[in-house]
Chain A
Amino acid sequence: MKAFKFDWLILPLIGIAVVVLLWQISSKTWAKELPTPHKTWEASKEYVLKPFEKRGEMDQGILRFTWYSLILVAKGYAIALIVGTPIGFFLGLSKAFTKTFDPIIQVLRPVSPLAWLPLGLVLFLGAGKQASELGALFTIAICSMWPTVMNTAVGVRAVPQDYLNVAKVLKLSRWKTLTKVLIPATLPYMFTGFRLSLGIAWLVIVAAEMLTGRPGVGGFLWQEYNALLYEHIILCIITIGVVGFILDRLMSLVESRFKTA
């Protein structure tokens, strides 16, 4: 198709319109319980138009819920980076380390967040009130760190021998080789890992909140499902998608800055 003026705006709008239409038809025909787009908007209006209002523990504006979720994600994600990046470096630098830990990493990597969460809750049982938050953080961190680990390891292995030879000829100390050569050379790979990790962290948050019942987008979603308010489920899904999309775009911007270096 030939490009025309404003195609970047009009074409996506057409796409959205098609999906809304399908949604409308579905709710009128085979899925009678599915609220129509109009009903969804009517029921969600209050949450969208007063996004920061707090009416009760589980009855708050949608952006307020999003904010709680983001804080939890930020904490878990930070733990994932702090733990994952050094592991990635060790994997990239040491063959022995790789041989020792790579099998176990490959086994742990595909485990679903839904499987980790109960373990997280058990681990922090002693923490009392904090248990659900710590369990959620544990789950986010352990699920989202793998892309960072793997990409950092690949990046370290991909550092050209030439750069290492420069470090050798200059007799750079181990620390200086790390900070002046290895880390800058690995940064583009690391940021790809960071972006993928953030995507996963955001995926996990919903599962974590659903199971722990914490206030947040995911917790709200689950509560409204139990309360049979299906309109709000759709509101939550849209919010989760939009926020995830924005996070990914932001990280891409950061990533592309390091790509050119």
Chain B
Amino acid sequence: MAAATTHPTPGEARSAGTRPRGGARGVLGRMADKYLLIVYSALAVIYLLLPVFVIILFSFNNPPGRSNFLWSGFTLKYWLNPLGVAGLGDAVLLSLEIALISTIISTILGTLVAIALERYRFRGRAGVNALVFLPMATPEIIMGASLLTLFVAIGAAPFFPLNFATILIAHVMFNISYVVVTVRARLAGFPRHLEEAAADLYANEWETFRRVTFPLILPGVVAGALLAFSLSIDDFVITNFSAGKTQTFPMFIYAKAKIGIPVQVNVIGTSIFLIAVGAVLVTTLASRRSNKR
């Protein structure tokens, strides 16, 4: 094989041994080896990030009218006055409140459900197992419609008006499923002998959970919570059915879409994106540092 190549350097001889090549095809092949993956990856990343980039870019746009679709000059004025549209501030605040509270409730409940399902064999376990998956499997529109029916059926206004509470109930309901699934995945591979070791070292059930079990499933709990938060803050379909007269941030955008979305929405959107990226960076760095130690 080495004799067939024009310049049989040791390196070439070796690679020639593993993959025969010659002439122009070889050069092209080598080029492809080197650049195809890079090009392909770059295209994929661009495809994923282009919409985000447009949102960020248009948060600096200075449109003459109400619609924010054409680039018409750079300005910082919307960044300096991000809540300067009637109702926007309230909507953002409401969305944040609901996302935060529903995340806390569903993370606690979901973690407990996950532990129960993973650790104990009890009557009705199979049923609970199926029910947990239901909110994920059911189309949102159906879930929203049936929730509305339920809310109306059980509490005719004014005892049970559709408002903050009903949105919260709806969000906790679908969030729990995602928390259960993520925490269970973490619990499935949990080394049980660590809990025995803790018990052996005088830790009762609660201390064992606090000192050993919980710290070790924490990554799963955090992942579940983040998932719940992001699902909650941008949910539109279910929220729309259970909101009544209250308006969340996604609902605000939807309402404004008919008459032109204000630039401030891009500002808020960009901010949320940056906060999310920042959070990911911080956790990555933190885990890298703790691994290094």
A, B in one complex: no
